[in-house]
Structure 1
Amino acid sequence: MAQWTQISQMLHRLPDDTIINLYPPSTFPIEIRHFLAEWIESQRWDIFVPENVEQTSLAQDRLDQTISMLQLVAQQNNVVDRMKLMQISKNMDMFQQEPLQFAVMVRDMLTKEMVLLNTPAQMPNPPQFQQYPNRESLFPNTPDVDHLVLKVIEVQDIRQKMHQLQEELNWERQNYEGLQGSIPQNGLDQTQSEIQKLQNHIQQLEYNVKTMAKKRFQLLKECVDCLDQCQTRLISRLKEWRWEQHKATIGHPFDESLNLLQTRCEQLLGVNGKLRQELMLMGKPMPELQERLGKLLQVLIQSSLVVDRQPPQVIKTQSKFSTTVRYLLGEKVAPGKPVVLKAQIINELQARNLASVSGDNVGELINNTAILEHNTSSKSTCATFRNMSIKKIKRADRKGSESVTEEKFALLFSTEITITGCDTPYRIQMISLPLVVIVHGSQDHNALATIIWDCAFSEPDRVPFMVSERVPWRMMYSTLNSKFTSEVSTLHNLDSYNQHFLAQKIFDKPDFNDDFSNIMVTWAQFNKEVLPGRPFTFWQWFEGVMELTKRHLREYWSAGLIFGFIGKQHLHLILKDRPNGTFLLRFSDSEIGGITIAYVDASENGGQKIQNIQPFTKRDLEIRSLGDRIRDINHITYLYPEFPKHDVFRKFFTEPQALHTGGYIPVSLQTKVGTEASSDIPLPESPHSVGGFTTSSEAMDLDIDKILESLNQ
């Protein structure tokens, strides 16, 4: 709760109106922020978008968790705080109809806090938040840019004062010459006195002009130095934005807005133009400063091209895809000839030497040009490639066992652009994130593995597209957790038990109970070598689980009802002393994309045994939901450790629908396990009954076609 610690220390300096606006008493009282600080900051709120109604269920889970946490904290405090928190938790029921509104409100609150923390300490009375809907408009200038702008204004002011002094000096010199011409030969003391005063004044003016000229030159140099520093920071921030965009592939939070960076680019371009004007008005050449400003201008113009919406990082040939390139100095583009961006596909070798990339592609791109167009409402200038496709690809010679799904390409976007106020057109270009080109859908999983590894373990400013072949397990696990929670759209992370089992699986060390954190995991272990006794790799298996959870189990997982990744040894350890009927849900480790129910059952000798029901796959859960299957199975009664299944799974049960049979005998679908299935109808022994584990079998009551189909197998 580092953020709350910092915010709470500065609350006493904020106006009451700002605090009330930040923590509205009627919707999000400050007590919630205080008592739930650590929990709030440990969750991901940045993923919520008001328009995304698909997030409603996830937002509902978050709202329910917040209310439950408040009630729990209330019981742990004194009677005053307890009553206050209980009332707040009750008031939060107002969001039950609009849970997404609550999640977005918390997201915005955390963003506003970050804005406050980044506000210069000397700024009195920060503006009210309701006047500024986002961070960019709240603080459009960083202190360094403000300082630079003030310096430029000072240079302009000195120039104007010098001009006035020079005019006065010219006038006084004219007066001086006139007085000298009017002096009689015998001279007059009064005239001589006036000439002397005028001469002194002229000398003072000349001294002032020289002094101001020196100051003007010094300020100009300081302005160029400051501009260099500001631009260096800006370009560094642009690189950070691209890096964050790269990491977003594996689920890292990413603020995709470019508005603030665009404002910075425009400000620095304006400052550069003003400084170049001031140099031209100096009256004498300043080659060093002029050259520096020219280089800064070139770098800024060339660095302002950004791939705003990346192309898919796995692209199948002959398939349409889109991408958007944005130019942050779009409003400064010289009017006239349209600016056309061209895209070409390049390989890894070409990406390492962009300066030498020719017009020839290593693949043929269809619809590879787009016009840079300005949107007045969003104030953005973008070129959108809407129907691009890769017709064919030329692959490099592969080394050893390298497959086509390990070869990385990129799209290179380029154009020639002229900026208003600049005589010379500039050649600008930018490459996309790495991508893998496939020719068949069966290659998709392995191609995605290449992208995941690249996004997770590459270094900033690397040589394209180099990435380590081995990383510590702690980094691998962090990536798996981040990708899993992001893909599933959940706040429920993988726990330490899941982490340990995943490590045991990828390293094939089921009996290893020490810390795996620093053991190195290789690319081959991740997605080249098949798991022992299995026909698939670790990544193929993990992705299958992730996809199943995303499609059918997200709510169960988010509610903490699925134990997830657990080995059989650990499974027996935690269930061995539990009553018969105790069960837990775990992901199958023997097939891709399956979830199984492990439960305690009575053995033949009066003891206990652990049974594992045949895994339910995507197809099974499309036929009947997990909740209904759990309700069907009488063998299981308590979710580990001791939650009655009808209490925790009730909201997942499907209510019986009114039957409109039209004269037919109604049928129903029900899950039967082991002997249950064979006791209703005489079915042959299931081919899946192996290893002592019971299996699941679908039976439809009074469905003759189903019976005949089973008998004919």
Structure 2
Amino acid sequence: MAQWIQMTQMLQRLPYETVSSLYPPNSFPIEVRHYIAEWIENQRWEDFSIENVELQSQAENLLDQAITILQTVALQNANVVERMKLMQMSRNMDLFRQQPLKFAVMVRDILRQERALVPRSNPAPSQSYQMRDLVNMQDVDHLVLKVLNLQEIRKSMHQVQEELNWERQNFESLQATFQQNGLDGKSEVQKLQAHIKQLEYNVQALTTKQTHLLKECVDSLGNCQTRFIDRLKDWVWDQRKAAIGFPFDDNLNPLQTWCEQLLGMNGNLRQELMLTGEMSSDLQERLSQLLQVLIQSSFIVDKQPPQVIKTQSKFSTTVRYLLGEKVAPGKPVMVKAQIINEMQARNLGSVPGDNVGELINNSAVLEHNLATKSTCANFRNMSIKKIKRADRKGSESVTEEKFALLFTAEITITGCDTPYRIQVISQPVVVIVHGSQDNNAVATIIWDCAFSERDRIPFVVPERVPWRMMYNTLNSKFTSEVGTQHNLDQYNQHFLAQKIFDKPDYADDFSNMMVSWAQFNKEVLPGRTFTFWQWFEGVMELTKKHLKSYWSEGLIFGFIGKQHLHLILKDRPNGTFLLRFSDSEIGGITIAYVSPSENGGQKIQNIQPFSKRDLEIRGLGDRIRDIEHITYLYPEYNKRDVFGKFYTVEPQLSTNTGYIPVSLQLRIGMDAPPPASNTAQGSSANFIMETMPSPQVGFPVEAASSGSNIVTAAEASPSGFSMQQFQSPFNSPEFPDEIIDPTGSSSGAIEPMPLDLDFFS
């Protein structure tokens, strides 16, 4: 009864007229809603509508339960006045026994109106759709009532016409009788003539009313169907946006109910037109057009295929027909799929000519699922065997070329004489032949899903978009891909803009600056070998797989520029550090920290970035624990307090294996004993492999490796062991670390020290 609790808080702010209209005193007073609130909210009311006569017995059952519960509540009430009042209300509800569906629909509408009134502290993104759907479904209900009224008028016309035919026959018989017998029956004849004229007037009046109401119903049906198709386009639009992380409610059942109601109303109105004999009227033609559009529009891609598809690889997709329960029984409906290019997608009115690709397992039967009440064709093992590329323009690459899957079927609807050819296309897909193309293909899809118009010509996209739109897309994609609620902040946003526009010194607002597709994923970043998207996607992948918890708890500063980094760390105590994503490598995270310089000032060091491979070997928490020089996470959090839960307990290694146990521990370059040939100081990361005390001596130590760190096996001998050292191949350091003297001026740069390994006994 959560909804009722929220509603009671609203009632005191609503005018009396609103409350009275919401809870009609003579049929469903507010007391009934209050005393059986929990029971009401535990029932399914959304399935009911006036036209669903098959649910009448279910509505009768709910009405009986409501009356019984209300009577039980009344008998248990110690207040005599309240008891009598509740008993009277239960007797009033007996009036619904002749129309139980009316009772169920009334409760359904009350709950809908309550949901529209109840405020939400955190409204869902689909709330506006829910409000629109509520209004639209009410319009459909009004249309249902109009059609019922139309049917009543027809029945009345039939009765009046029959009476008129009877009275005309009586008039002729009465005249003949009077003439044969020479009787004067003028008064009776006049009375009968007057009655006949009244009946003729009634028939004419009913005919006029019927004609007017028929047109009104067809107009209402057209409006309801237009809103339905618009809502269906919204669903498809949201489905497209889901690819970049926007929220998406994929439930199609309410739209299917709406669609079925529109089909039912169309059939009822066509029947009414047939009974009036106006088969060739404009209204009949309009109803036929509405029917054709509805049948075609009800065919949708429920589960989209992957938008980046590698040839020779399996993938799945599902199409759904919202009018599946209305498909005529008999011959099964076969859905066929083919791949089409952008030009063919723009000319769907004609059958595609050239076959641009070969699909494997490209047919499926449209099957009805009784449990879910959905009718779908599932393509479970589809594959693109080969693809035919179009002639590319200029510098366009294969990963920028967009295709789509076209699904077609021939379907017959119960009550319709002719079959209909239905078709629908998927969202655009990029076809690749090698995994190395995946990143660039994803960029094409991201740009398409984020910036294309809802009703665009396939598959037109803008060449440039405002930075604010780009940032919203990056933020949405990042949070959804990582699976976090922690968004990119304003500092991250500014640095990303500086990077994509190559304006490291720009301090103003980037919001209205235009970013191009070339800047996003065509041109490599200055001084780098990769594009902006390739770099951003690498950070996203690293965070998703290894840093999700750290990011979600706000322990990673993330995207930060050189100037900003020095600005916030320059006045901090030695040992203060922060975590930032590597600016020079794809998929790396580094530690920037404050340390004392040789001249008594301070310098900001940047440790060699940790890659995905590095973090697979030793987690970030343990690496932070290993580095003694860093003590406080910016601004002033003790690292043990915030990272302690990420520390792992080193396993107790058995010494009964015949080997000397070893353990890995991170040391930055200045802490590890350097090779004799290199005495430079720096902040590159090193792994130290320690031997553990053991009674077993003279056995070889196992080799270990960490990402690009190479470790050889030590050869043991009775007199000791030796180990050959290898220099790390890392050769792309972060931006140079500046040494900050007490005056704050820069005095040079520190070269990172090569990676090396050593043993400690």
Listed one character per residue, the Cα deviations across residues 406-465 of structure 1 (whole Å, up to 9, x for unaligned) are 000000111111100000111110000011000000000000000001111111111111
Cα deviation, residue 632, structure 1: 1.1
Change in CA separation of 1:274 and 1:296 when aligned onto 2, cut-off 3 Å:
same
Cα separation, 1, equivalents of 2:712 and 2:244: 48
Change in CA separation of 1:485 and 1:685 when aligned onto 2, cut-off 3 Å:
farther
Among 269, 276, 283, the residue aligned to 1:289: 283
SS of the aligned residue for 1:142 comes to: helix
Among 158, 163, 168, the residue aligned to 2:158: 163
Among 464, 479, 488, the residue aligned to 2:473: 479
SS of the aligned residue for 2:413 comes to: coil
> TM-score w.r.t. structure 1 length?
0.80
The aligned amino acid for 1:182 is T
Cα separation, 2, equivalents of 1:537 and 1:671: 31
The aligned amino acid for 1:652 is F
Listed one character per residue, the Cα deviations across residues 219-260 of structure 1 (whole Å, up to 9, x for unaligned) are 000000000000000001111111111111111111111111
The aligned amino acid for 1:674 is G
Change in CA separation of 1:512 and 1:366 when aligned onto 2, cut-off 3 Å:
same
In the alignment, is the contact (CA less than 8 A) between 1:366 and 1:391 conserved in 2?
yes
Cα separation, 2, equivalents of 1:584 and 1:432: 45
Cα separation, 1, equivalents of 2:458 and 2:32: 51
Q: Which residue of 2 aligns with 1:697?
A: 686
In the alignment, is the contact (CA less than 8 A) between 1:7 and 1:117 conserved in 2?
no
Larger helix share, 1 or 2: 1
Are 1:235 and 2:229 matched, yes or no? Answer: yes
In the alignment, is the contact (CA less than 8 A) between 1:594 and 1:615 conserved in 2?
yes
SS of the aligned residue for 1:676 comes to: coil
In the alignment, is the contact (CA less than 8 A) between 1:322 and 1:385 conserved in 2?
yes
- Find the structure with the greater CA-based Rg: 2
Change in CA separation of 1:642 and 1:325 when aligned onto 2, cut-off 3 Å:
same
- Aligned residue-pair number: 601
Cα separation, 2, equivalents of 1:251 and 1:11: 38
> TM-score w.r.t. structure 2 length?
0.75
Among 197, 200, 209, the residue aligned to 2:203: 209
Q: Which residue of 2 aligns with 1:638?
A: 632
SS of the aligned residue for 1:183 comes to: helix
Change in CA separation of 1:140 and 1:376 when aligned onto 2, cut-off 3 Å:
farther
Q: Which residue of 2 aligns with 1:333?
A: 327
SS of the aligned residue for 2:593 comes to: strand
Change in CA separation of 1:334 and 1:360 when aligned onto 2, cut-off 3 Å:
farther
Q: Which residue of 1 aligns with 2:121?
A: none
Cα separation, 2, equivalents of 1:576 and 1:543: 30
In the alignment, is the contact (CA less than 8 A) between 1:501 and 1:567 conserved in 2?
yes
Q: Does 432-441 or 513-522 show the bigger shift?
A: 513-522
Change in CA separation of 1:649 and 1:272 when aligned onto 2, cut-off 3 Å:
same
In the alignment, is the contact (CA less than 8 A) between 1:341 and 1:370 conserved in 2?
yes
Q: Which residue of 2 aligns with 1:613?
A: 607
In the alignment, is the contact (CA less than 8 A) between 2:556 and 2:579 conserved in 1?
yes
Structure 2: gaps spanning 5 or more residues? 1-5, 20-29, 39-107, 119-128, 692-700, 705-710, 714-723, 728-761
Are 1:671 and 2:666 matched, yes or no? Answer: yes
Cα deviation, residue 502, structure 1: 0.5
Are 1:144 and 2:133 matched, yes or no? Answer: no
Change in CA separation of 1:147 and 1:376 when aligned onto 2, cut-off 3 Å:
same
Are 1:343 and 2:337 matched, yes or no? Answer: yes
Change in CA separation of 1:118 and 1:347 when aligned onto 2, cut-off 3 Å:
farther
Correspondences of 1:1-12 after superposition (within 5 Å): 10=10, 12=12
Cα deviation, residue 678, structure 1: 2.1
Cα deviation, residue 470, structure 1: 0.8
Change in CA separation of 1:313 and 1:17 when aligned onto 2, cut-off 3 Å:
farther
Are 1:426 and 2:420 matched, yes or no? Answer: yes
The aligned amino acid for 2:379 is F
Q: Which residue of 1 aligns with 2:558?
A: 564
Cα separation, 2, equivalents of 1:166 and 1:120: 46
Q: Which residue of 1 aligns with 2:578?
A: 584
Q: Does 153-162 or 670-679 show the bigger shift?
A: 670-679
The aligned amino acid for 1:163 is H
Q: Does 532-541 or 170-179 show the bigger shift?
A: 170-179
Correspondences of 1:347-362 after superposition (within 5 Å): 347-358=341-352, 360-362=354-356
Cα separation, 1, equivalents of 2:36 and 2:635: 44
Q: Which residue of 1 aligns with 2:64?
A: none
The aligned amino acid for 2:230 is S
Cα separation, 2, equivalents of 1:157 and 1:228: 22
Are 1:197 and 2:191 matched, yes or no? Answer: yes
Cα deviation, residue 567, structure 1: 0.8
% same residue: 72
Correspondences of 1:310-325 after superposition (within 5 Å): 310-325=304-319
Q: Which residue of 2 aligns with 1:597?
A: 591
Listed one character per residue, the Cα deviations across residues 581-622 of structure 1 (whole Å, up to 9, x for unaligned) are 100000001100000000010111111100101111100110
Cα deviation, residue 685, structure 1: 4.7
Q: Does 245-254 or 179-188 show the bigger shift?
A: 179-188
Correspondences of 1:460-475 after superposition (within 5 Å): 460-475=454-469
Cα separation, 2, equivalents of 1:8 and 1:573: 54
SS of the aligned residue for 1:532 comes to: coil
Listed one character per residue, the Cα deviations across residues 5-29 of structure 1 (whole Å, up to 9, x for unaligned) are x999845458799899999xxxxxx
Cα deviation, residue 286, structure 1: 4.5
The aligned amino acid for 1:247 is K
Cα deviation, residue 187, structure 1: 4.5
Change in CA separation of 1:586 and 1:712 when aligned onto 2, cut-off 3 Å:
closer
Q: Which residue of 2 aligns with 1:711?
A: 725
Correspondences of 1:476-625 after superposition (within 5 Å): 476-625=470-619
Cα separation, 2, equivalents of 1:606 and 1:19: 76
In the alignment, is the contact (CA less than 8 A) between 1:409 and 1:435 conserved in 2?
yes
Change in CA separation of 1:697 and 1:327 when aligned onto 2, cut-off 3 Å:
same
Cα deviation, residue 677, structure 1: 2.3
Q: Which residue of 2 aligns with 1:76?
A: none
Q: Does 195-204 or 283-292 show the bigger shift?
A: 283-292
Listed one character per residue, the Cα deviations across residues 363-395 of structure 1 (whole Å, up to 9, x for unaligned) are 111111111000000000000111111111000
Cα deviation, residue 149, structure 1: 0.7
The aligned amino acid for 1:696 is A
SS of the aligned residue for 1:179 comes to: helix
Q: Which residue of 2 aligns with 1:126?
A: none
Cα separation, 2, equivalents of 1:534 and 1:572: 22
In the alignment, is the contact (CA less than 8 A) between 1:417 and 1:425 conserved in 2?
yes
Q: Which residue of 1 aligns with 2:176?
A: 181
The aligned amino acid for 1:366 is I
Q: Does 160-169 or 293-302 show the bigger shift?
A: 160-169
Cα separation, 2, equivalents of 1:514 and 1:438: 40
Are 1:244 and 2:244 matched, yes or no? Answer: no
Cα deviation, residue 671, structure 1: 1.1
The aligned amino acid for 1:668 is S
Are 1:272 and 2:286 matched, yes or no? Answer: no
Cα deviation, residue 181, structure 1: 1.9
Cα separation, 1, equivalents of 2:289 and 2:114: 31
Listed one character per residue, the Cα deviations across residues 510-558 of structure 1 (whole Å, up to 9, x for unaligned) are 1111111111111111111111111111000000000000001011101
Cα deviation, residue 656, structure 1: 3.3
Cα deviation, residue 657, structure 1: 3.3
Q: Which residue of 1 aligns with 2:51?
A: none
Cα deviation, residue 668, structure 1: 1.7
In the alignment, is the contact (CA less than 8 A) between 2:298 and 2:321 conserved in 1?
yes
Cα deviation, residue 185, structure 1: 5.7
SS of the aligned residue for 1:579 comes to: coil
Cα deviation, residue 359, structure 1: 5.7
Among 375, 380, 383, the residue aligned to 1:381: 375
Cα deviation, residue 705, structure 1: 3.8
Q: Which residue of 2 aligns with 1:32?
A: none
Q: Which residue of 2 aligns with 1:70?
A: none
The aligned amino acid for 1:165 is V
In the alignment, is the contact (CA less than 8 A) between 2:136 and 2:227 conserved in 1?
no
Cα separation, 1, equivalents of 2:620 and 2:601: 29
Cα separation, 1, equivalents of 2:725 and 2:37: 68
